[in-house]
Amino acid sequence: MIQKSIQIKLEEGLEARPVAMLVQVASQFESTVYINSEDRKVNAKSIMGMMSLGLASGEEVTVVADGNDEDTAVVEIEKFLSGN
């Protein structure tokens, strides 16, 4: 299992379209992927779960991945959330 704190650098934060794109990125991996924000933990492969977080640009989240491709999953999610 690997964890990494990441600051959201998407201008619009995680609104509907960016959430859908993040779910697509997370769904490419076998590993379980969660996004932790404050005291909430949400499956990054769940559109409804991710929408419920209502994350804005500049907020800090922790990405937690567990599985065979956990390293790659965290790297790709970090790229996405950083706006790259």
Q: Are 73 and 33 in contact (CB under 8 A)?
A: yes
DSSP secondary structure letters along 43-59: ETT-HHHHHHH---TT-
Q: How confident is the model over 46-51, as a mean pLDDT?
A: 96
Q: pLDDT class for 71, splitting at 50, 70, 90?
A: very high
Q: What is the pTM of this model?
A: 0.92
Express each pLDDT in 5-34 by its tens digit.
999 999 888 899 999 999 999 999 999 999
Domains of the chain (ranges; CATH) run 2-81 (3.30.1340.10)
Sign of dihedral through CA atoms 39, 45, 46, 50? Answer: positive
